[in-house]
Chains A and B, each alone.
Chain A
Amino acid sequence: MACSHHPEPEPSDLPLPIPWLGKPGPVAALDLAPARAASPTRPTTTVVETTAPASPNPVEKIVPPTAPPKREPPKKTRSKKKKRPGSGIPARPIIRYLVWARRFAQAGFLGLFLFLLCNTAFRGTFSASSETPVRLPYPVEGFLLADPFVAAMTLLSTHAVYRGLAWSLGIVALTLVFGRVFCGWICPFGTLHHFFAWIFPSRYVRGKQRVEANRTHYWQAAKYYLMVAFLAAAVAGSAIGGLLDPICVAVRAIGLGVLPALQYLGIRSANVIADTNVRALQTASDASQDFLSRSVWTPNQLYFHQTWFIVVLFVAILFMNRIVPRFWCRALCPLGAFLGVISRFSLFGMEKDHSKCTDCNLCIVHCQGADSPQGGVKHRQDECHMCLNCEAACPEDVIKFRFLPNRKGTTSVPDLERRTVVATAAAGALAIPAFRIAGWPDRGYSEKVIRPPGAVEEREFLDRCIRCAECMKVCPNNALHPAFFEAGVEGLWTPILIPRIGYCEFSCVLCGQVCPTGAIQKITEKEKMGVGQKPIAMGTAMYDQGRCLPWAMGTPCIVCEEFCPTSPKAIWAEEVEVPKREGHYDKKGEQPKMLTVKLKRPHVDPNLCVGCGACEKVCPIVDKPAVYVTNAGETRSKSNVILLENTSYNRTG
């Protein structure tokens, strides 16, 4: 066997080769003795014949497997009372408490996240007077503010730390003390994966397969490369990394997909119950729907443009937990990678006594981060989620978590190849110019990309927007939507106003309130509505006179004027008398009579129009409205201006 080439074992902290990779050669960063790394071709658990549970001679420990793979289960020599599998020695009480504390923390933070997500919606209250400004009572974007990856990206792209993002220093500090506790204890998305891996494990990934799945894999380095690419993209001027930031993914998928879908089911079931005509059922259904519409979702059904794509990816990534537990956290999460990089300085960590390890693999079975907790190999601190399951499961006191551990059994630097790091950084930095020369936003400025009120100029906007979907979730009129490819590939899931689905409420500034990065500024109502100053315009309404009822069909309408929120109204109506053919054809062979009708025909005043889209929303032509908003004349742009008179910025009002 290959193992026979091995030189004599060296001191106790030398790791065993990693057999599960199924290929020869050095295993990155785990291995201090490359010469010994030739591994068995068959993935198998390391077989060690322990002479005694606490062997004083660690050298015996790392004798590689030479015996046939069949082996006896480890002998239990100590307690008869089974507190945990294996030896029966219970873990240290503090660890048992901490594991439960972690579970409560995870449940609590997931609950908090969902609470904040459900409350990312304005819910009025009877206790507020009419003059109370409409603001959210909770810091619903809190998890994003505490996200150091978001802070790092926007720092690199804007060279500034925007307001609340300074909170992310708290998570950085926590990581420097305790390692990646954010991943194991706090991250709501991580908790979701933890939960799904626990509740829906594949029946094909049990026992040995699960152990194999939980070993450290080379592809876990992917998240570091992704992080590097995203940070390089940020330097190149795009916070596109938000596409894969776990908090952004969670808000986007749950807020824009899962919750509206549940709402749809809820309303559908309410309608079915209403049809039963059983009074008691209807009352109960109305009461529960009232409660849900005021706590979990909103009174009206929400729709989100092309949100299926977000949901499909979300379901796929949750599904991966069946095969590889916490696949997202291990392989893709750039925030985890970011914390992994700084966790090398952490003061708290694992200490291993390899000599005591019986290779029972219980630690691996329960491992969340796939960080090699087992004896004989180096622990990967940068991968460890600090869930403490390994120590709680370890029957032989091999694993101990403590402050300032000896690092002999640990490697804390991510296992990366310098060339790949350089290559991914270059790819990230070059992707942005590649996207931009493909069109958006320098050329081919799409008329559909109507940014929220208070959004900064488009290039600066792309510097900042992390696609977290907070603005879309909070929008009371369901006006903001994740762009599909309207704003190019780079603009995927950035917010756009789709007035046909919902218009921008004139006095509402909630999207700016929840934006964690300042892509939408925290404007006031006065700034938005233009009290004593120029109002903020997102675009301008245009009439399609071939479709407009008064213009094309001699039919009165002007709902657009009724809904126009500015004062004076940006839509004004001209009274005309026009000929109209009578609509009834009773007498055969005769031409219909010509009538004269009095009509009001709408016009837009581009100086007053703020592009809120109320007119487009209420236009009774359902399929393609007769009045529609484009981003022409948006105040955030100095070039996308219609009227020459508006190019002077000295003017106020």
Chain B
Amino acid sequence: MPGPVSRREAVGRIAAASAVLGGAALLTRARFDRGGYDVAALGGQRQVRNFASPPVSALPMMAIAKSSTDPAVLARRAVDALGGMHRFVSRGDVVAVKPNIGWDRLPVHAANTNPLVVAEVVKMAFDAGASRVVVTDASCNEPNRCFQRSGIWRAAHDVGATVILPAAHRFREIRMKGDVLDQWPIYTPLVNADKVINVPVAKHHNLSKYTAAMKNWYGILGGRRNRLHQSIDVSIADLATFMRPTLTVVDATRVLMRNGPQGGNIDDAEDVHQVIASIDQVAADAYGCTLIGQKPENLGYLKLARERGIGEVDWASLPHVEV
């Protein structure tokens, strides 16, 4: 019954076969994965997410507010001394505020940033014309507990901030090309913004002695952060190289003096009543460590920061004011 194939049918079949082969070739070309060592060998410069604001000669680079016991007043005075939030935030900006919401601890334990300081920074950002202020952090403990019990969720929400809780879909792999931090999952809400304000808390840390501004960038990392402690100073320096914030506002109103970074005992923290605002995160840490009796030269990550030119360790040499 089946006779010889007609010419028309033969042409059709050949065309179909060619189309399948051609399609497969095109797909292969489009999605060809070289894989292996070619990818790993891609070298290059360290990545930088630069949100920094340039120094202005007439204005100080760092302000230390210590003239009040009200955290909100201290935060406002410190930022105002740098020229006010208008210097940093323009109309319509999306501003990411990065407090430390790492631990399931109450404000009195001083393991997280003081909610009043966070709220005041949010308020100032809105006053300067920010269209949206995102407050978030990738917590160490369970995020719902950390955000609620730190008091930051409520305080930030009350002043109109968008509080985002970390969730798995918010992390994307990014190549930072740091010395120890090469490719790592990055918490996107903190880098997808026009301006980034770092609002860390100054506290003792068992391994790196004192932490605040630079170490706070651990909160942009997902994945297994625990491996970083083998080279904690280099990883902190890598992060501070990657993230260059618009402004750093260090909460030192109540400082964890020992048992850091978690604390948990009220006696571990002491009232210091200071807030440091700085456009140089290294200088902020260099000054901050003196509050718990450390010296900048004892901190490995500050040494690395100086070597890499991220900022100034000799904070006293910068234009600064005390208010």
Contacts and interface: CB of A to CB of B under 8 A. Distances in A.
Interface string A270-311: 110010000000000110011001100001110000000000
Contacts of A477: 142
Contacts of B143: 124, 299
Contacts of A289: 167, 169
Contacts of A129: 151, 154
A461 to B, nearest CB: 25
A192 B265 CA distance: 50
Given A563-B262, A567-B268, A299 B165 contact: yes
Contacts of B232: 556
Contacts of A286: 169-170
Contact of B145 (A124, A557, A563, A568): A124
A561 B204 CA distance: 13
Interface stretch (B72-80, B221-229, B282-290, B309-317): B221-229
Interface string A17-51: 00000000000000000000000000000000000
A240 interface: no
Interface stretch (A393-401, A435-443, A500-508, A576-584): A500-508
A620 B207 contact: no
A559 B149 contact: no
Given A130-B148, A505-B142, A567-B264, A299 B206 contact: no
A476 B229 contact: no
Q: Is the interface of A mostly helix, strand, loop or mixed?
A: loop
Interface residues of A, number: 53
A134 B145 contact: yes
Contacts of B168: 267, 270, 293, 299-301
A317 interface: no
B301 interface: no
A103 interface: no
Interface residues of B, number: 46
B147 interface: yes
Interface in A474-503: 476-477
Contacts, number: 130
Contact of B149 (A130, A270, A555, A563): A130
A618 B104 contact: no
Contacts of A622: 224
A352 B231 CA distance: 82
Contacts of A122: 142, 144-145
A124 B104 contact: no
A179 B80 CA distance: 74
25 contacts: A124-B144, A128-B148, A129-B154, A130-B115, A130-B149, A266-B169, A290-B164, A293-B169, A294-B165, A299-B144, A299-B167, A476-B144, A505-B141, A505-B145, A506-B264, A508-B142, A508-B145, A555-B230, A556-B231, A557-B230, A566-B264, A568-B259, A568-B265, A619-B226, A620-B229
Interface of A: 122-132, 134, 266-267, 270-271, 274, 285-286, 289-290, 293-294, 299-301, 476-477, 505-508, 549, 555-559, 561-569, 573, 600, 618-620, 622
